[in-house]
């Protein structure tokens, strides 16, 4: 299949659904889950969280033009923010002609932390833990034979001694390969299960037993070259690199720069039924590992004058547990993306984060972001003003031409069209 569909945004919703169905073989049932005609059942919703009274719909759009590791992909993105899907598609188009995105993952390894208090001699306790390393790992693996049968499980231990305000605290890291699972359940279960053994080995008292979202042994990396011509020329490319240098040097700017990266990342994480907060926490913690909060992306200029971008961040996503398996739209999203492993999903998500950042920096380095937002913003306002779907394009065209995006003016235009004027 080719993801390079020019004018995808100009097609009707039905035409887009037909293209995706043709290429990815969606069933009638999957299409009706996606359209919301067949919403998630209240029984399923009630089984997912507590005190359920309903559900909230978020639009799912397809980012076009992505080529990732040589394979064309449609990328489903769930977001309430206008421009995000268009931005990813536009930047991906500028990378397509240069070969697209290339990705890798450092591993599927997560850390579980076990905090031990009341130890008089933490260095000796640390040594004792290592003497019992195999016993602790065996206990962990006993608790999750399924993960072990898939080639995963607890593989190593680290023991950290952390000076805190009041104590030298002993913190054990269970190093667990969670394979295609995000891993929070597996790791938390193991950490709780071995806590009494840790207490008897160290003579200390275990308090917290929980996964760390700073998944620094599960780093997704993506890179791409964006054609200078498609990005707007030499000056825009130079401005993009200086915008990156600004973000890398100034945490006030880095926060917004990385927010733009996460616009793309969280939208795919959400569409795939994964935990957006886990990935966000990991990303922002990783952006600060040097001691100062920095850009998650890097931007350079190639010898040919094109724009070269790369991204590296923790990507704790899975394809076999929780909502990734139970949510019918998440299942359809994985099928649309043609994902067969957590590793592949992590790479695609990193690529989208890089594309999203390229698009934001391009807009900031050229015309500013408001121009691109204008017609999308006007569309939202027209919907708020109660416009019929058939009138929206006309209302948007008039508001953009008048360069007047106040709600009052859009309401006036809408009402005048409804009166047949
Ligand atoms: C808006 O949601 C995201 C941007 O602010 C990101 C950025 O400034 O790089 C456009």
Confidence of residue 217 (pLDDT cuts 50, 70, 90): very high
Provide the Cα torsion 153, 180, 182, 220; round to 10°. Answer: 110
Q: What is the pLDDT of residue 168?
A: 86
Q: Which protein residue has the closest C-alpha to ligand 1 atom 4?
A: 260
Confidence of residue 375 (pLDDT cuts 50, 70, 90): confident
Q: Which protein residue has the closest C-alpha to ligand 1 atom 7?
A: 257
Atom in ligand 1 nearest the alpha carbon of residue 369: 10
The pLDDT of 77-106, averaged and rounded, is: 96
Provide the Cα torsion 66, 72, 78, 83; round to 10°. Answer: 30
Whether residue 369 is predicted with pLDDT greater than 70 in this model: the reply is no
Q: What is the pLDDT of residue 88?
A: 97
Q: What is the pLDDT of residue 337?
A: 97
Active site residues: 81, 259, 275, 373
Q: Which protein residue has the closest C-alpha to ligand 1 atom 1?
A: 260
If we measure between CA atoms, which residue out of 418, 358, 362, 351 comes closest to residue 391? Answer: 418
Query: Angle at CA 98, nearest 5°, toward 93 and 99?
Result: 90
**Ligand 1-lining residues (CB < 6 angstroms):** 256-257, 259-260, 263, 360, 364, 369
Whether residue 378 is predicted with pLDDT greater than 90 in this model: the reply is no
Hey, which residues does 221 pair with through a beta bridge? 104, 312
The pLDDT of 370-387, averaged and rounded, is: 81
Whether residue 364 is predicted with pLDDT greater than 80 in this model: the reply is yes
How does strand 307-314 pair with strand 205-212? unpaired
CB-based contact 150:179 (threshold 8 Å): yes
pTM: 0.91
Q: Per mean pLDDT, which range of 102-111, 291-300, 310-319, 380-389 is the poorest?
A: 380-389
317 Cα distance to chain centroid = 9
pLDDT tens digits for 39-88? Answer: 788 998 999 899 999 999 999 999 999 999 999 999 999 999 989 999 99
The pLDDT of 115-136, averaged and rounded, is: 97
Q: What is the pLDDT of residue 372?
A: 64
Tell me what the pLDDT averaged over the chain comes to. Answer: 95
> In CATH, what is the architecture of 8-102+226-366?
Alpha-Beta Complex (3.90)
pLDDT tens digits for 173-187? Answer: 999 999 999 999 999
Confidence of residue 370 (pLDDT cuts 50, 70, 90): low
In this structure, which long-range contacts are made by residues 399-404, counting pairs with CB atoms below 8 Å and at least 24 apart in sequence?
400/374, 400/375, 403/374
Classify residue 150 by its DSSP letter: T
Confidence of residue 376 (pLDDT cuts 50, 70, 90): confident
Q: What is the pLDDT of residue 405?
A: 83
Atom in ligand 1 nearest the alpha carbon of residue 357: 9
pLDDT tens digits for 152-176? Answer: 999 999 999 999 988 889 999 999 9
Q: Which protein residue has the closest C-alpha to ligand 1 atom 2?
A: 260
pLDDT tens digits for 331-343? Answer: 999 999 999 999 9
What is the CATH topology of the domain spanning 109-212? Alpha-Beta Plaits (3.30.70)
174 CA distance to ligand 1 middle (Å)? 37
| For the chain, percent of residues with pLDDT exceeding 70 | 98
The pLDDT of 125-138, averaged and rounded, is: 98
- Phi, psi of 285, deg, nearest 5: -65, -40
Atom in ligand 1 nearest the alpha carbon of residue 253: 8
């Amino acid at each position: 299949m080719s993801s390079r569909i020019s004018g995808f945004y100009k097609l009707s919703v039905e035409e887009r659904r037909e293209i995706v169905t043709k290429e990815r073989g969606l069933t009638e049932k999957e299409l009706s889950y996606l359209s919301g005609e067949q919403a998630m059942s209240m029984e399923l919703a009630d089984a997912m969280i507590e005190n359920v009274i309903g559900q909230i719909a978020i639009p799912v759009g397809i980012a076009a033009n992505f080529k990732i590791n040589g394979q064309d992909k449609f990328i489903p993105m769930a977001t309430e923010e206008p421009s995000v899907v268009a931005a990813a598609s536009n930047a991906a188009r500028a990378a397509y002609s240069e070969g697209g995105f290339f990705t890798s993952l450092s591993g599927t390894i997560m850390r579980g932390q076990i905090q031990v208090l009341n130890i008089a001699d933490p260095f000796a306790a640390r040594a004792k833990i290592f003497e019992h390393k195999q016993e602790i790992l065996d206990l962990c693996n006993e608790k999750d034979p399924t993960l072990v049968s898939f080639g995963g499980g607890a593989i190593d231990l680290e023991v950290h001694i952390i000076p805190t305000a009041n104590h030298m605290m002993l913190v054990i890291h269970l190093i667990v390969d969670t394979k295609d699972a995000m891993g929070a359940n597996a790791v938390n279960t193991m950490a709780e299960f071995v806590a009494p053994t840790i207490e008897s080995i160290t003579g200390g008292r275990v308090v917290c037993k929980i996964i760390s979202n700073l998944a620094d042994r599960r780093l997704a990396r993506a890179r791409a070259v964006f054609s200078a011509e498609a990005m707007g020329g030499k000056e825009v490319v130079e401005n993009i690199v200086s915008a990156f240098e600004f973000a890398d040097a100034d945490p006030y700017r880095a926060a917004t720069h990385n927010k733009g990266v996460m616009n793309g990342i969280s939208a795919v994480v959400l569409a795939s039924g994964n935990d957006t907060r886990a990935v966000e926490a990991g990303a922002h913690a990783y952006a600060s590992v040097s001691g100062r909060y920095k850009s998650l992306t890097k931007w350079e200029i190639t010898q040919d004058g094109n724009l070269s971008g790369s991204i590296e961040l923790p990507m704790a996503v899975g394809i076999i547990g929780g909502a990734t398996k139970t949510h019918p739209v998440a299942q359809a999203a994985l099928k649309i993306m043609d994902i067969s492993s957590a590793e592949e999903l992590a790479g695609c998500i990193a690529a989208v984060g890089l594309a999203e950042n390229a698009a934001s920096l391009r807009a900031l380095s050229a015309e500013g972001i408001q121009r691109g937002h204008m017609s999308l913003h006007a569309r939202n306002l027209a919907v708020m003003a109660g416009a019929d779907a058939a009138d929206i394009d006309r209302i948007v065209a008039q508001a953009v031409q008048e360069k007047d995006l106040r709600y009052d003016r859009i309401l006036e235009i809408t009402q005048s069209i409804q009166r047949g004027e």
